[in-house]
A and B are shown apart, each in its own frame.
Chain A
Amino acid sequence: MSSTTLPVMHDHASHDTSSMTTLGFWIYLMSDCLIFAVLFATFGVLAGNTADGPAGRDIFNLRYVAGETLLLLLSSFTFGAGMLSAKAGRRNALLVWLAVTLLLGAAFVGMELHEFAALIHDGAGPGVSAFLSAYFTLVGTHGLHVTLGILWLGVMMHQVFHYGVDEVVLRRLNCLSLFWHFLDLVWICVFTFVYLREFL
């Protein structure tokens, strides 16, 4: 009797830990959200304090930002498609989707680094004004999150490659999926309030 009830119990218990893990990770994400909220508030307060340095409309290129946005949006979609492959147990399709997501994410970080380098080269570095300090902190923190997400993507690809899509891997992929989509949400606020708002 114990041999027939135990697997069911075990299955239930593991399902429970999985949903608890997701909830816990979600609560972490919400605390991360508060970090970004504080950085956005700081940026909002300091956006006008250019200290005779360049203002946003002098240095930002909206076409470039639209490109970055497209990359991140596409990567969100490819990750979603990857999660569906993972749930269906299609390991190879999952690996391909994860690789595409990783490349799109890396391209985004590359574009952002290029943008930062160009700004600093043109004399609009983080030390020039309160506005630029707040800008580099906010956008840089987002970029750092994406970079860590890419690292995590690489680790998960390695795990999927070696262990296949088992329950543990699926749980971790679920958390990474929340993280990745969350970064897309933050970017929506960045392009609206940091970039577009400068050109009103």
Chain B
Amino acid sequence: MNTSLPRATSSHTQPDTNSGMKSYVIGFVLSLAITAAAFGTIMSNAVPHPWRLVCIVALCVAQLLVQLVYFLHLGSHPDQRTNTAVFACTGLLIAIVVAGSLWVMHNANVNMMPTHVTVQGAMSRE
């Protein structure tokens, strides 16, 4: 233990720290830029209204990917493969839960009886 630990730290940390700092700086700068772009999309008139939702969702996904890669170090590296697989499965579950809820409730709202029609009125028309 005494002999293996210092060797491990000295051979690992130096390049690790440098490339690690670079990774955090890149991630931070990219995140700042994407955040500014997302707020700019809404707070300025640079993007026409129909495209705004598409634009902020795309920026949101981009920023999630940036932070997953540069901050959480998710990727195809052997150490990270299990984490990435678990994350992908969770992503699928989230997509099903969120998209399913929105879809079902949207349909329920669209097909709901209009408020000016009463139950009595609807039944007498049958």
CB-CB under 8 A for A197 and B53, given A40-B98, A73-B32, A88-B17? yes
Contacts of A62 in B (CB 8 A): 39, 42-43
A interface residues, tally (CB under 8 Å): 47
Cα distance A27–B39 when bound, in Å? 32
- With a cutoff of 8 Å between Cβ atoms, the chain B residues found around residue A69 in the complex are 35, 39
Cβ contacts under 8 Å, A110 to chain B: none
Number of A-B residue pairs, CB cutoff 8 Å, is: 125
- Asked if B42 and A7 sit within 8 Å, CB to CB, the answer is no
Q: Does A80 contact B (CB under 8 A)?
A: yes
* Bitwise interface map of B from 36 to 75 toward A, beta carbon under 8 Å scored 1, else 0: 0011011100000100110011011001100110011000
Q: Is A144 an interface residue (CB 8 A)?
A: no
Chain B interface residue count, CB cutoff 8 Å, equals 51
Are the C-beta atoms of B90 and A33 separated by less than 8 Å?
A: yes
Q: Tell me, rounded to whole Å, the shortest Cβ–Cβ distance linking B34 to chain A.
A: 9
Known contacts: A37-B93, A41-B97, A41-B98. The answer to whether A87 contacts B13 by CB under 8 A is yes
- Do residues A89 and B13 form an inter-chain contact, with CB atoms below 8 A? yes
Residue A55 lies at the interface, judged by CB distance under 8 Å to chain B? no
Return the CB mask of A26-40 against B: 1 if under 8 Å, else 0.
Answer: 110010011001101
Contacts of A89 in B (CB 8 A): 9, 13
Q: Are B4 and A11 in contact (CB under 8 A)?
A: yes
Chain B residues near A118 (CB, 8 Å)? none
Q: A8's closest neighbor in chain B, by CB?
A: B4
Whole-angstrom CA separation of A51 from B18 in the bound complex: 54
Given A7-B4, A37-B94, CB of A188 within 8 Å of CB of B21:
no
Task: Give chain B residues whose Cβ lies under 8 Å from the Cβ of A178.
Answer: 72
The answer, among A77, A87, A182, A193, for a CB contact under 8 Å with B20, is: A87
Interface positions of B from 62 to 110, Cβ below 8 Å from A? 63-64, 67-68, 71-72, 79, 82-83, 86-87, 89-90, 93-94, 97-98, 101-102, 105
Is A73 a contact partner of B86 (Cβ separation < 8 A)? no
Least CB distance, B16 to chain A, in whole angstroms = 6
User: Are B38 and A77 in contact, with the CB atoms below 8 A?
Assistant: no
B94 touches A34 (CB 8 A): yes
Residues on B with C-beta less than 8 A from A7 are: 1-4
Q: Is A185's beta carbon under 8 Å from chain B?
A: yes
Q: Give chain A's interface residues, CB within 8 Å of chain B.
A: 7-8, 10-11, 19, 22-23, 26-27, 30, 33-34, 37-38, 40-42, 44-45, 62, 66, 69-70, 73, 76-77, 80-81, 83-84, 87-89, 178, 181-182, 184-185, 188-189, 191-193, 196-197, 199-200
* Interchain residue pairs A-B with the least CB separation, the first 10: A41-B101, A80-B24, A192-B60, A37-B94, A30-B90, A45-B105, A77-B28, A181-B71, A7-B1, A41-B98
